[in-house]
Amino acid sequence: MKVMQFFFVPDHRGRFRFISTEPVHEIQVKFSRWRKIWEEARRRLMLLPARTLRQEQAFEAVLRQLPPQIEIVHPAELSEKKIRRKFFFFLQRQRSRHVALLVGETILLPISGLMALLPGPNIFFGFLALIMYTHWQGLRGINHLGRKVHSFHPSSLFQEWTRTLEADSETARLDVLARIEREFELPNLRKVLYK
């Protein structure tokens, strides 16, 4: 069985993202009675931006990691102290964001339930419920990740990626991303880190 890797790297705007080698997958929910609603909601959930979906699924993947230590690959130019501090604040910001989103979604859930009075399936309710479930799993993963021991491993390829962000060469960026995708087996990384 292949060991899952985690990455903490900046996107084209310089905002750090937490991703894993796990491929993007549909969320599995088993509700036979409302199958049509859930199938349509799951299909729409997969239309979320790749950088959002990939990060949420990386947080969820942390829940399945048994060892108490998680290895995280990052750009080589950042020192151990700086990357630890940046990762700590990243987790705090993500935790606050997830809590705020869950509160807002909880407020919207009863309103979306009223849409059941309209004819046809209540897709909005199903989509909102799946988004809530995704954020809940993400929050659990963030909390779990905060309790794990983090082992940071620098990568010269990701260092090269951050250098291309300072330059104004799209071809250089795409070339580096293609090499990263091949080396770390991260398909469609361009959708996550670059436009």
In a domain, 1, yes or no: no
CA 48 to chain centroid, in Å, comes to 11
Cα 59 from Cα 137, distance rounded (Å): 7
Query: CB under 8 Å to 153, separation ≥6 — which residues?
Result: 71, 72, 73, 74
What SS3 state is found at 148?
coil
pLDDT tens, position by position, 111-154: 877 776 666 666 777 778 788 888 999 999 999 999 999 999 99
Mean pLDDT, rounded, for 48-57: 82
* pLDDT confidence tier of residue 168, bands split at 50, 70 and 90: confident
192 has a pLDDT exceeding 80: yes
What are the residue ranges of helices labelled H in the chain?
35-45, 50-62, 80-114, 123-147, 156-166, 170-184, 189-193
Residue 90 pLDDT class (50, 70, 90 cuts): very high
78: in domain: yes
Q: Alpha-carbon torsion 50, 70, 152, 176, what sign?
A: negative
> Mean pLDDT of all residues in the chain?
84
In a domain, 33, yes or no: yes
- Residue 3 pLDDT exceeds 70: no
Give the separation between CA 67 and CA 156, rounded to whole angstroms. Answer: 26
Q: Is the pLDDT of residue 24 over 60?
A: yes
pLDDT at res. 1: 44
CA 98 to chain CA centroid, nearest Å: 12
**What span, in angstroms and rounded, lies between the C-alpha atoms of 133 and 23?**
19
Within a domain: 67: yes
| pLDDT for res 25 | 62
For residue 9, pLDDT over 60 is answered with yes
What residues pair up with 17 in beta bridges, in sequence order? 9
User: CB neighbours of 92 closer than 8 A, spacing ≥ 6?
Assistant: none
- Can you tell me the mean pLDDT for 153-162? 93
Q: How many angstroms separate the CA atoms of 125 and 122, rounded?
A: 6
Domain coverage including residue 174? 6-193
Work out the average pLDDT over 10-18: 91
User: Residue 99 — pLDDT band, cuts 50, 70, 90?
Assistant: very high
What average pLDDT does range 76-100 have in this prediction?
95
3-state secondary structure of 142: helix
Provide the number of structural domains found in the chain: 1
Share of the chain above pLDDT 70, in %: 82
